[in-house]
Structure 1
Amino acid sequence: MSTNTNNTGLYNIDDLQHLANELFKTLPNEFPKEISLSPDRKEHPRATKIAETLLQAGSFNTPETVPLQAQNPLNVQSNLPFSGFGASSSVANSGNTGISALYPNAFNGYESQNGISKAEIPLGNNVNLNDPQTGFYDINLRSGGTPQLNEEAIFKSLFLNQQYLPFETENSSFEAELKQALSFVDTQFRKRSDLSSSAVEGSNSYYFLEQNPFAFDAKNVNTWAGNSFEPTEINILTGHFDAHLIKKDFPILNETVNGKPLIWFDNAATTQKPKSVIERIAYFYEHENSNIHSAAHELAARASDAYEAARDKVKVFLNANSVNEIVFVRGATEGINLVAQSWGEHNLVAGDEIIVSNLEHHANIVPWKRLADKKGIKLRVIPVDDDGQILLDEYAKLLNSKTRLIAFTQVSNALGTVTPAKKIVEMAHAAGAKVLIDGAQSVSHMKVDVQDLNPDWLVFSGHKLFGPTGIGALYGKEELLNEMQPYQSGGNMIQDVTFEEIKYHKAPNRFEAGTGNIADAIGLGAAIDYVTKIGIDAIGQYEHQLLDYATKLLKEIPGVRLIGTAAHKASVLSFNLQGYTNDQVGQALNREGIAVRTGHHCAQPILRRMGVETTVRPSLAFYNTTQDVDVFIKTIRELKKVRF
């Protein structure tokens, strides 16, 4: 938009007319879709009133002078000037697929706390239907073009924090409400390119706010002070992070089990999927479905662009140096097996040593044990203490000139222990060994920066990151990947084939033989969009508070034994209940709609180290709430009363 003014000092009438028309495109059909501010034309009476008010816009306040939280009883920024994840500008016919916390008043059935009726304002889709990959600014793609402020988005900001649009109420002063709404307009019509680039590029930065609206405000958290901890939702739902609103983005969380609302406490096994991920996958099959890379037609181009954009999102999410360091695999298990066969088979010999930790999932034990048995390699184990914490002094004693590989988890799936990953990597490299990190349980809870951690490989699964099943990623240092032998053979991974010689592509294609899981890779990209929009640091801090809340209450129940009490934990609560088998506890929780995992969690060595064969394992995510925890605690307490 131009910021030119006429000789009276007012803004250019053409600019105001254009801005007004952007609003009318989003209004109900009873309103005109285009108006003129010329006094010679007769318009809809309410359109005329808006036009007259706009002509006086030079006196309105800019956003810098208007508190963002004005008249906002829910303390949530609603109708902020973007939709979904880089949505199409055609929002009028799109469904609500963005983050609920950004648009708290846009859900059918939602009633605000002050009794005002719900607003059914259509919001943006996650996909630009005209150009699904390149038509929007994606905060995950740092190489993206300069974003521009959308005039429609400006008009959405007119109604910031309003429970209904001013023209939807017949019993109030339309003119007064309009002027009040317009007080939120940036009448300078600034473009995003005029603002600090650092405010746009950071994953926790928003161009229209000084800080991420989801940022976790530690100053507002009521922490434990002796025994004065008050376990109320407000202690955890600080700033604008409201798990109740985020939960609305996950359709399956509307399910009931045994007549009770579903409480999903099985997140370490798999996480639920937001609507944006589900719709992105459906959109692929409806509009883009094709094989990738080798065709000359339009759908192949769309599919290839979407697939490679997803790879770029993984790269940024992990802070890798290049997209060539990201290989799509079925999940963390396949990624570990790929390294074991493509690198281990060709680089390890009898007498070499591999070190794993006592915390490992079977997926990070069995491939190495098989390789060790096959090639005469020695498998050594880093011990843990009674709390489930890595003993670094003992680890140091295991390192020697024969050590070739250390493979360990960043977060234990059975205990929730967060390992000192960076220190483990540094010690391994000092001994001349390679390092593989299992990030399956860490990427959804904390920032994982491969340049900072410096592993040689890192693996994770999409389905534990709110993405689809059957997709994951292997990160590997580019030079190392290009030295490794192909994992599987076939199409897509070759440069040239004759009966005399085969030439392979460099990474990542050399490890992606055949037709890959294209749709779910794109779905993983959408999941990363979703997590990044909220902010992984905010997620981690929220979950930490929720875990502390649940741990304190669970420890107070007689007969409960917590398994794994490390000082640094992610959102896992493994326990046994005296007088009950773990299956009995799981079944009792299921009757109340609570889903938990029981069994050995594919981590038998660590459970046996802790003196048990199985546990009950609730595991938390950012869409869980203290109310969910309260139902869980109440159920366990009632079980205890029955037997004792």
Structure 2
Amino acid sequence: MGVSESESLDVERIREDFPILEREFAGEQLAYLDNAATSQTPDQVVDAIAHYYRHTNANVHRGLHQLSQEASIAYEEAHDRVADFIGADGRKEVVFTKNTTESMNTVAYAWGLAELGPGDEVVMTEMEHHAALVTWQQIAKKTGATVKYARVDEDGYLDMDHLRELVTDDTEMVSVVHVSNTLGTVNPVSEIADVAHDHDALCFVDGAQSVPHMPVDVKDIDADFFAFSGHKMCGPTGIGVLYGKERLLEEMQPYLYGGMMIEKVTFEESTWHELPWKFEAGTPVIAQGIALAEACDYLDEIGMENVQRHGEALAEYAYDRLSEFDDIDILGPPGDDRAALVSFNLGTVHAHDASEILNDFAVAVRAGDHCTQPLHDKLGIPASTRASFYIYNTEAEVDTLVEALDTARELFA
């Protein structure tokens, strides 16, 4: 099914909000297909950042003057807006961090160091991003806990039977990626959360590749923790989100200390501010938080169902086009059952070389292991080339990608 058959977006109109897409390199117009790494930022979000710095710039929760009060209100309301976007119960369940990685580390250090010990287990999958895999791996080394990995089958799907075998009454945390940034696999996270809860374990979902591309309701998933980044969903860099169930965040102790996160300090003791501020030490990501709220508005105006349909249709079209060639090996599930990305390899051409050729045609893709080295090791490949799509991409850009690969094929024949 091509994009035109499921078109719910006025893509040409949307592209007007992203002036960077008009850039040209060596006479070729940019085809930006690296959205799984970072999406582009619309004028509306850039304007929100500029408006803050031009009209409201002040620190929050610290001053009684007008600017500080305005900034504080805008920053607090940004938490409310993000909570609404993901179906959380309110700002107490939404902590602003720098990125998904910091959100992972917040839970790993604030919860993991206190709760894990010898005999305890953390269950992950073989498709995890380093943000989760390395974090829990290192926390396990500090606490004596054990990390186990559920298998990925030859078609790129998570082996749910194996995951059920691994999750036992010794399991304390099941940490799973919602959408694989390498395979495009969409994992059944609600079902996984049920498996975890059946054994009184918690479930942490890495939503870095899902929140930008599909409707997400954290209560419906029943995740205990959920993390994502602003820069992959039309927002600015430098801001991530940690969702946590209020009762869990209340029980956890902060692991970053300083200003703003305290309630009372003496020379002997300190007490912590209410949620979510007790996890936001120091001057927070004020402008970024306000801009992230604007990104939520932008995506909601388009409609997340429309965003999802467009991205998946483009991925299917790319899968079908790339499948026309016997020398292209595509990673992950079939084209009609994946999120908005396609990773592949062209014959014996290294992914970095393929990416260099694509760059000559102003096609921006990602080449490497995509922060999933263990998964690439399992697949027996050093790297792959990844094309990832968003609301402003078109079939024509996919065609440009395929044509540029013809040149790579000829050069390395």
**What TM-score results when the alignment is normalised by the length of structure 1?**
0.63
Give the Å deviation of 1:546: 1.2
Give the Å deviation of 1:643: 5.0
Contact 1:407 1:437 (8 Å CA) reproduced: yes
Where does 1:25-40 land on structure 2 (aligned, <5 Å)? none
1:504 to 1:609, Cα distance in 2 relative to 1, 3 A? same
1:378 to 1:282, Cα distance in 2 relative to 1, 3 A? same
1:573 aligned counterpart, secondary structure: strand
Give the Å deviation of 1:490: 0.6
2:160 matched to 1:392? yes
Counterpart of 1:588 (choices 338, 357, 363) is 357
Q: In the alignment, which residue of structure 1 is the partner of 2:325?
A: 557
1:218-277 CA distances to partner (integer Å, 9 max, x unpaired)?
xxxxx4xxxxxxx5x632435xx2212111101211111222111110001110000000
2:273 matched to 1:505? yes
Give the Å deviation of 1:581: 1.7
2:118 aligned counterpart, secondary structure: coil
Contact 1:267 1:621 (8 Å CA) reproduced: yes
Give the Å deviation of 1:642: 4.8
Work out which structure has the larger RCO, using CA pairs closer than 8 Å and 6 or more positions apart in sequence.
2
2:211 matched to 1:465? no
Give the Å deviation of 1:627: 0.9
Where does 1:169-208 land on structure 2 (aligned, <5 Å)? none
Query: Which stretches in structure 2 are left out of the alignment for 5+ residues?
Result: none
Of residues 563-572 and 307-316 in structure 1, the stretch that sits farther from structure 2 once superposed is 563-572
Q: In the alignment, which residue of structure 1 is the partner of 2:149?
A: 381
Q: In the alignment, which residue of structure 2 is the partner of 1:329?
A: 97
Q: In the alignment, which residue of structure 2 is the partner of 1:405?
A: 173
Q: In the alignment, which residue of structure 2 is the partner of 1:264?
A: 32
1:277 aligned counterpart, secondary structure: helix
Contact 2:6 2:309 (8 Å CA) reproduced: no
1:586-618 CA distances to partner (integer Å, 9 max, x unpaired)?
011101111001011110111122221200111
Q: Give distance in 1, aligned partners of 2:410 and 2:108.
A: 50
Counterpart of 1:364 (choices 132, 147, 152) is 132
Contact 1:562 1:574 (8 Å CA) reproduced: yes
Q: Give distance in 1, aligned partners of 2:268 and 2:378.
A: 54
Contact 2:103 2:227 (8 Å CA) reproduced: yes
In our comparison, the structure showing a higher alpha carbon Rg is 1
Q: In the alignment, which residue of structure 2 is the partner of 1:617?
A: 386
1:617 aligned counterpart, secondary structure: strand
Give the Å deviation of 1:340: 0.4
Q: Give distance in 2, aligned partners of 1:579 and 1:489.
A: 51
Q: Give distance in 1, aligned partners of 2:381 and 2:82.
A: 37
- The code of the aligned residue for 1:469 comes to T
Q: In the alignment, which residue of structure 2 is the partner of 1:626?
A: 395
Q: In the alignment, which residue of structure 2 is the partner of 1:638?
A: 407
Q: Displaced runs of 4+ in structure 1, greater than 4 A?
A: 641-644
Q: Give distance in 1, aligned partners of 2:225 and 2:411.
A: 50
Q: In the alignment, which residue of structure 2 is the partner of 1:353?
A: 121
How many residues are treated as equivalent by the alignment?
412
- The code of the aligned residue for 2:264 comes to D
Q: In the alignment, which residue of structure 1 is the partner of 2:339?
A: 570
Where does 1:218-297 land on structure 2 (aligned, <5 Å)? 223=1, 234-238=4-8, 241-297=9-65
1:618 aligned counterpart, secondary structure: strand
Q: In the alignment, which residue of structure 2 is the partner of 1:538?
A: 306
1:89-112 CA distances to partner (integer Å, 9 max, x unpaired)?
xxxxxxxxxxxxxxxxxxxxxxxx
- The code of the aligned residue for 1:520 comes to Q
2:74 matched to 1:343? no
1:532-552 CA distances to partner (integer Å, 9 max, x unpaired)?
110000110111111111110
Q: Give distance in 1, aligned partners of 2:241 and 2:352.
A: 33
1:184-206 CA distances to partner (integer Å, 9 max, x unpaired)?
xxxxxxxxxxxxxxxxxxxxxxx
1:561 aligned counterpart, secondary structure: strand
1:122-146 CA distances to partner (integer Å, 9 max, x unpaired)?
xxxxxxxxxxxxxxxxxxxxxxxxx
Q: Give distance in 2, aligned partners of 1:332 and 1:643.
A: 38
- The code of the aligned residue for 1:582 comes to A
Q: In the alignment, which residue of structure 2 is the partner of 1:126?
A: none
Contact 2:228 2:240 (8 Å CA) reproduced: yes
Counterpart of 1:316 (choices 84, 102, 117) is 84
Counterpart of 1:518 (choices 282, 286, 306) is 286
Contact 2:203 2:223 (8 Å CA) reproduced: yes
Give the Å deviation of 1:637: 2.6
Contact 1:244 1:625 (8 Å CA) reproduced: no
1:479-528 CA distances to partner (integer Å, 9 max, x unpaired)?
11010011211111111111122111122011011101101111111111
Q: In the alignment, which residue of structure 2 is the partner of 1:153?
A: none
More helix by share: 2
Q: Give distance in 2, aligned partners of 1:642 and 1:370.
A: 43
1:397 aligned counterpart, secondary structure: helix
More strand by share: 2
Q: In the alignment, which residue of structure 2 is the partner of 1:26?
A: none
Q: Give distance in 2, aligned partners of 1:455 and 1:319.
A: 11
Query: Percent of counterpart pairs with the same letter?
Result: 41
Q: Give distance in 2, aligned partners of 1:351 and 1:258.
A: 59
- The code of the aligned residue for 2:117 comes to V
Give the Å deviation of 1:558: 2.8
Q: Give distance in 1, aligned partners of 2:202 and 2:172.
A: 6
Q: Give distance in 2, aligned partners of 1:420 and 1:325.
A: 23
1:353-393 CA distances to partner (integer Å, 9 max, x unpaired)?
00011110001011111111111111100101011111111
Contact 1:270 1:464 (8 Å CA) reproduced: yes
1:398-428 CA distances to partner (integer Å, 9 max, x unpaired)?
1111110001100011111100111000010
Contact 2:18 2:42 (8 Å CA) reproduced: yes
2:158 aligned counterpart, secondary structure: coil
Where does 1:419-498 land on structure 2 (aligned, <5 Å)? 419-498=187-266
Q: Give distance in 1, aligned partners of 2:356 and 2:410.
A: 17
2:341 aligned counterpart, secondary structure: coil
Q: In the alignment, which residue of structure 2 is the partner of 1:528?
A: 296
1:448-493 CA distances to partner (integer Å, 9 max, x unpaired)?
1011001110000000111011101100001110100112111111
- The code of the aligned residue for 2:390 comes to A
1:500 to 1:641, Cα distance in 2 relative to 1, 3 A? closer
- The code of the aligned residue for 1:351 comes to G
Contact 2:355 2:385 (8 Å CA) reproduced: yes
Contact 1:236 1:546 (8 Å CA) reproduced: no
**What TM-score results when the alignment is normalised by the length of structure 2?**
0.97
Q: Give distance in 2, aligned partners of 1:270 and 1:464.
A: 5
Q: Give distance in 2, aligned partners of 1:518 and 1:365.
A: 29
Contact 2:350 2:383 (8 Å CA) reproduced: no
Q: Give distance in 1, aligned partners of 2:147 and 2:92.
A: 31
